């Protein structure tokens, strides 16, 4: 490649211990899919603090779930990925091919439990609509642009939730005898919040949360 690795999926360019065969991230079963879980190009350290003076690695929040049913979101991750290495001017995945590929992957019902399953996901996909990276005749190195795009930015163990909260302030009307009488509550003010939460689905740990004030 004549450059550093950008994604763990680029291991698919490497030759195996068999003549003229490269590492496979697009077959079922894949003998090499576990490499996607074993290696990572980027580290995501937790900053040093008074509690932990040494930076330590931590799970990431916000990356896309490989089991997502949002084809457009998956396609957006694939768009612009290197399709063919051409030295200084690589050929990139076109937007139409990427969105169609995302639509196909989002339609699959068999769940992926780790990034290793990405190879099976690619191999089992039915190539429709077209054009996409899953069309018959697309070379292995081009088809595995999916693994290069999602191998580093995808995950299968985090729930990303958006909670819509509407908080109201006010008082109950005179004569109200119970807080269950919602029709007696007089609203003086209202504020809306979007709470973004990422939860590790195996441990139940809240990895990250963010509260966004919504001004309508």
What is the spatial distance between Cα 24 and Cα 1, in angstroms, rounded to a whole number? 17
DSSP per-residue letters across 189-200: EEEEEEEEEEEE
Each residue's pLDDT tens digit, 158-182:
888 899 999 999 998 888 888 888 7
DSSP per-residue letters across 66-91: TT---HHHHHHHHTT-EEE--TTSPE
Residue with tokens 């054009």: 131
Q: CA nearest 116: which of 33, 48, 190?
A: 33
pTM of structure? 0.71
Q: Going residue by residue through the chain (216 aa), what tens digit of pLDDT does each one get?
A: 778 888 999 999 999 888 889 999 999 889 999 999 999 887 656 556 665 566 555 555 557 889 889 999 999 999 999 999 987 789 999 999 999 999 999 999 888 888 999 999 899 899 999 999 999 999 999 999 999 999 988 888 888 889 999 999 999 888 888 888 878 889 999 999 999 998 887 788 898 899 999 987
Going through the chain in order, the beta strands assigned E by DSSP cover 45-46, 56-57, 64-65, 82-84, 91-92, 154-155, 158-172, 185-200, 206-214
- Cross-strand pairs, 76: none
How many CB atoms sit inside 10 A of residue 74's CB? 26
Write down the pLDDT at residue 57. Answer: 59
How many CB atoms sit inside 10 A of residue 21's CB? 10
Q: Which two tokens stand for residue 172?
A: 């109950």
Q: Do the Cβ atoms of 120 and 29 come closer than 8 Å?
A: yes
Write down the pLDDT at residue 22. Answer: 94
Write down the pLDDT at residue 41. Answer: 85
């Amino acid at each position: 490649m004549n450059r550093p690795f950008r994604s763990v999926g680029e291991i698919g360019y490497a030759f195996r211990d068999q003549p003229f065969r490269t590492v496979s991230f697009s077959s079922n079963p894949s003998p090499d899919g576990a490499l996607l879980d074993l290696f990572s190009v980027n580290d995501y350290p937790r900053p040093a603090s008074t509690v932990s003076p040494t930076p330590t690695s931590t799970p990431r929040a916000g990356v896309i779930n490989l089991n997502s049913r949002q084809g457009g979101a998956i396609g957006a991750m694939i768009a612009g990925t290197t399709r063919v290495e051409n030295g200084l001017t690589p050929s990139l995945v076109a937007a139409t091919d990427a969105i169609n590929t995302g639509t196909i992957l989002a339609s699959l019902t068999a769940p992926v439990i780790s990034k290793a399953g990405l190879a099976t996901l690619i191999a089992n996909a039915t190539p429709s609509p077209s054009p996409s990276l899953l069309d018959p005749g697309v070379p292995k190195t081009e088809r595995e642009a999916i693994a290069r795009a999602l191998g580093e930015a995808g995950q299968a163990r985090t729930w990303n939730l958006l909670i819509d909260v509407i908080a109201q302030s006010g008082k109950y009307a005179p004569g109200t005898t119970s807080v269950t009488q919602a029709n007696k509550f007089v609203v003086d003010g209202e504020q809306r919040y979007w709470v973004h939460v990422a939860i590790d689905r195996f441990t139940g740990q809240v990895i990250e949360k963010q509260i966004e004030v919504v001004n309508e």
